[in-house]
């Protein structure tokens, strides 16, 4: 059993990815966007977005036919920077993370990339191909995000279960190759029990 975090900017497709691949009805904490959030949550580039995750999404995927049978527990983070303290809790005990990228709003990807670099959790970048968005090669995204060659960059369609499962397997392989000698410890000591 492996815990995986799926992070990314606001509207990058995290809830969609968890829902597409989960074999159970995913737990979702989606709430409608209101006028009160217009000063905080920019909808530029995602004007049709009507809801947002306010805690986390949860799903489960069993891969009995993988080289080593796996059961993946998926935790999707909220995308806004104001929820970053929650990311520490969601990352505790995770084997690795997927940073889902929307090239229409690439600047929103820097916070999750920096976050996982800072806490030392292995991660990969998955470029979510939105309909009508310009397609960039993975190496172009690597350059734009200033990622080292050691971080895998792949493309995906967050609506497609096979595509999302492929991303998750890429992450598991990367995490196994880059596993630290001991468990990853986020720099924050805040836990949900402390709240």
Tell me the torsion sign for CA atoms 69, 169, 18, 57: positive
Of 56-60, 137-141, 155-159, 168-172, which gets the smallest average pLDDT? Answer: 56-60
CA-based angle 142:179:87, to the nearest 5?
A: 65
pLDDT digits (tens, 9 = 90+) for 89-101: 999 999 999 999 9
pLDDT at 195: 35
pTM: 0.78
Q: Parallel, antiparallel, or unpaired: how do β-strands 96-101 and 123-128 relate?
A: parallel
Give strand pairing partners of 2.
Answer: 72
In angstroms, rounded to a whole number, what is the distance separating the alpha carbons of residues 63 and 110? 31
18 token code pair: 């968890």
pLDDT digits (tens, 9 = 90+) for 12-28: 899 999 999 999 988 77
Residue 114 contacts by C-beta under 8 Å, 6 or more apart in sequence?
none
Measured in whole angstroms, how far is the alpha carbon of residue 157 from the centre of its chain? 13
Give strand pairing partners of 127.
Answer: 101, 155
Find the distance separating the first CA and the last CA of the chain, reported in whole Å.
27
CB atoms within 10 A of CB 71: 12
pLDDT digits (tens, 9 = 90+) for 5-14: 999 988 889 9
37 token code pair: 């959030």
pLDDT at 182: 53
Provide the pLDDT confidence category of residue 34 given band limits of 50, 70 and 90.
low
Q: Based on the number of CB atoms within 10 Å of its own CB, is 180 exposed (0-12), middle (13-18) or buried (19 or more)?
A: exposed
């Amino acid at each position: 059993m492996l815990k995986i975090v799926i992070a990314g900017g606001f509207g990058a497709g995290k809830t969609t990815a968890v829902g597409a691949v989960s074999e159970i009805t995913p737990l979702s904490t989606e709430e409608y966007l209101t006028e009160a959030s217009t000063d905080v949550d920019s909808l530029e580039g995602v004007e049709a977005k009507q809801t947002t995750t306010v805690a986390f999404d949860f799903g489960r995927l069993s891969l009995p036919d993988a080289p080593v049978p796996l059961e993946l527990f998926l935790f999707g983070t909220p995308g806004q920077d104001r929820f970053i303290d929650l990311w520490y809790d969601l990352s505790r005990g995770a084997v690795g993370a997927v940073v889902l990228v929307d090239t229409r709003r690439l600047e929103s990807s820097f916070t999750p990339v920096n976050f996982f670099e800072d806490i030392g959790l292995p991660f990969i970048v998955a470029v979510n191909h939105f309909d009508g968005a310009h397609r960039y090669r993975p190496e172009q995204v690597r350059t734009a995000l200033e990622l080292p060659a050691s971080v895998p960059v792949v493309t995906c369609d967050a609506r497609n279960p096979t595509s999302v499962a492929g991303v998750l397997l890429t992450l598991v392989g990367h995490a196994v190759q880059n596993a630290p000698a001991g468990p990853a410890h986020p720099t924050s000591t805040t836990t949900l029990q402390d709240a």
